[in-house]
Amino acid sequence: MSFKSLGLSEPLLKAISKKGYDTPSPIQAKAIPPVLEGKDVLASAQTGTGKTAGFTLPLLHLLSENTNQRRRSIRALILTPTRELAAQVYANVKEYSEFLDIRSTVIFGGVNQKPQVATLKQGVDVLVATPGRLIDLENQGLLSLKHVEIFVLDEADRMLDMGFLRDIERVMKIMPSKRQNLMFSATFSKDIKKLAYSILNNPIQVEATPENTAVEVIEQKVYRVAKGKKTDLIIKLITDGNWKQVLVFNRTKHGANKLCKKMISSGITAAAIHGNKSQGARTKALAGFKNGSIRVLVATDIAARGLDIPLLPHVINFELPNISEDYVHRIGRTGRAGASGEAISLVSADETTFLRDIEKLIDMKIEVEILEGFEPDPNASTEPIKPGQNRNQGRGRGANNRNSGKSKSSSSDRNKSKSRNRNNDNRR
Ligand code: AMP
């Protein structure tokens, strides 16, 4: 199968070959044809599957072929949950539209709105946006969605997790009802299905390879360790292994900051990335991590979601996620584009239940090791960490003033595993 056989136009094929892609990924092969036919599409795909090109390429094709419509008037809107993802999707839109007469831009919060407004005033065909800033600017009368022909909702599951349901509903109201809709989600809970039902018309459903297949190519290991010794253990592993690019997951913003400071004081270059960091700080941290000047990036789940970090050799779960699916998302970052990777989890007694749930979800036992000097505490309770039990953290934007409670009981039907303790989301 080639990109050409999917029916994409020459300028797009040129941009694709400039990117160096020869073959469409499975999600691209499945999603591009129905999108080109003008159908609504519901796609099950997570980051790393090539989903961005899966919707961007046919979207650009349709916009550039259909030139009778109003140009430069936001004809396509791509909504993403996080700023990083918005920036990445926009970078893709720019690259794929290099040989087309299409203008695009991106807007998100945390940065000055003035340059964004100035670009919007000049007119754009494709807008990539996070919900908060989009609605702010619309409320101020600085943009209009009256001419949207194609609407893309990317990472819909995270949108709900972050409490953006009301914002999505608001956005739906200010777009024309006659339009093409594409919705992407990694998981399909009842809430997601309900949302899909309210957005999509007769959608074609497409699915990338099931999430769990990626898990098998990743080397996974658990170190059972006393909670108080985790920091020393992680520093030892990174130092002894001389690991150069390590993504570390923490459940809380506070924990991420603390660990990052400890790393730095041990001579390891590190940066933290989470919802309380300014956009500038997040962009800088990610750039440093990609170019090798930062060895360790300590992230919370939501902040890390959607980050395009190719060929990541090491992922460490400093703490296990309380939502089992997040484990799969986290470690999936080491197995991208066919490259193998290593995923290590530091597990203390109170995370025993989380570990058991994860093993149930991925349907495999993870190898356990105990390092001398870093033994687990035999007297520690195996009672799971409860929401609210950790140090109290600042709340994320979506969760803060929106309906964060709504997504608390969502569960992945595909994985048939219960998502628990959703109320911890506001700490990420
Ligand atoms: P995404 O899932 O959209 O975040 O894409 C994941 C990664 O795969 C990105 O680094 C893309 O540049 C890359 N990618 C997307 N489509 C292809 C393709 N057809 N062939 C090779 N790499 C691709």
pLDDT of 336 strictly over 60: no
Give the DSSP letter string of 349-376: GGGHHHHHHHHHHHTSPPEEE--TT---
Residue matched to tokens 């898990």: 215
Q: How far is the CA of 288 from the centre of ligand 1 (A)?
A: 21
For the chain, which residues make up each domain, given as ranges?
Answer: 4-207, 218-397
On the CB side of 319, CA atoms within 13 Å amount to: 22
Q: For residue 402, give every residue at least 6 positions away whose Cβ sits within 8 Å of its Cβ, in sequence order, or none.
A: 163, 164, 165, 166, 167
17-69 residue pLDDT tens: 999 888 898 899 999 999 999 999 999 887 778 899 999 999 999 999 987 66
Q: How far is the CA of 91 from the centre of ligand 1 (A)?
A: 12
pLDDT of 391 strictly over 50: no
174-213 residue pLDDT tens: 999 999 999 999 877 788 888 998 999 999 988 875 444 4
> So what's the pLDDT on residue 386?
63
For residue 366, give both structure tokens: 């993870």
Same CATH topology for 4-207 and 218-397: the answer is yes
Query: Which backbone phi and psi does 49 adopt, to 5 degrees?
Result: -95, -5
For residue 413, give both structure tokens: 């039907």
Q: Do residues 406 and 388 touch, judged by C-beta distance below 8 A?
A: no
- Count other C-beta atoms under 10 Å from residue 201's C-beta: 12
Rounded to whole angstroms, what are the CA distances from 419 to 195, 212, 357? 18, 16, 10
* Residue nearest ligand 1's atom 8 by CA: 50
Protein residues with CB under 6 Å of any ligand 1 atom: 21, 23-25, 28, 47-53, 308, 310, 337
Residue matched to tokens 């609407």: 151
Radius of gyration of the chain (CA): 21
On the CB side of 363, CA atoms within 13 Å amount to: 8
Nearest ligand 1 atom to the CA of 19 is: 12
Give the DSSP letter string of 254-307: HHHHHHHHHHHHTT--EEEESTTS-HHHHHHHHHHHHHTS-SEEEE-HHHHTT-
202-225 residue pLDDT tens: 999 888 754 444 566 788 999 999
The domain 218-397 is placed in CATH, from the list 1.10.1030.10, 3.40.50.1100, 3.40.50.300, 2.40.33.20, at: 3.40.50.300
* Residue nearest ligand 1's atom 14 by CA: 50
pLDDT of 299 strictly over 60: yes
For residue 343, give both structure tokens: 């995923």
Burial class (CB in 10 A: 0-12, 13-18, 19+), 106: buried
Q: What percent of the chain has pLDDT over 70?
A: 84
Q: How far is the CA of 48 from the centre of ligand 1 (A)?
A: 6
Rounded to whole angstroms, what are the CA distances from 130 to 133, 136, 194, 196, 200? 6, 10, 21, 19, 20
Instruction: Identify which of 19, 46, 236 has the alpha carbon closest to the alpha carbon of residue 158.
Output: 46
pLDDT of 412 strictly over 50: no
pTM over cut 0.85: no
pLDDT of 342 strictly over 70: yes
* Residue nearest ligand 1's atom 17 by CA: 50
Q: How far is the CA of 24 from the centre of ligand 1 (A)?
A: 9
For the 4-207 domain, the top CATH level (class) is alpha beta
Rounded to whole angstroms, what are the CA distances from 129 to 46, 60, 164? 19, 17, 13
* Residue nearest ligand 1's atom 6 by CA: 48
Q: What is the rounded average pLDDT for all residues in the chain?
A: 84
Q: For residue 118, give every residue at least 6 positions away whose Cβ sits within 8 Å of its Cβ, in sequence order, or none.
A: none
Identify residue 60 by its one-letter amino acid code.
L
Nearest ligand 1 atom to the CA of 23 is: 19
Residue matched to tokens 């299409």: 102
Report the range of poorest mean pLDDT among 127-131, 177-181, 362-366, 367-371: 362-366
Q: State the Cα–Cα distance between residues 156 and 81, nearest whole angstrom.
A: 8
> So what's the pLDDT on residue 409?
32
Q: How far is the CA of 123 from the centre of ligand 1 (A)?
A: 28
Q: How far is the CA of 425 from the centre of ligand 1 (A)?
A: 28
- Which is higher by pLDDT, 139 or 363? 139
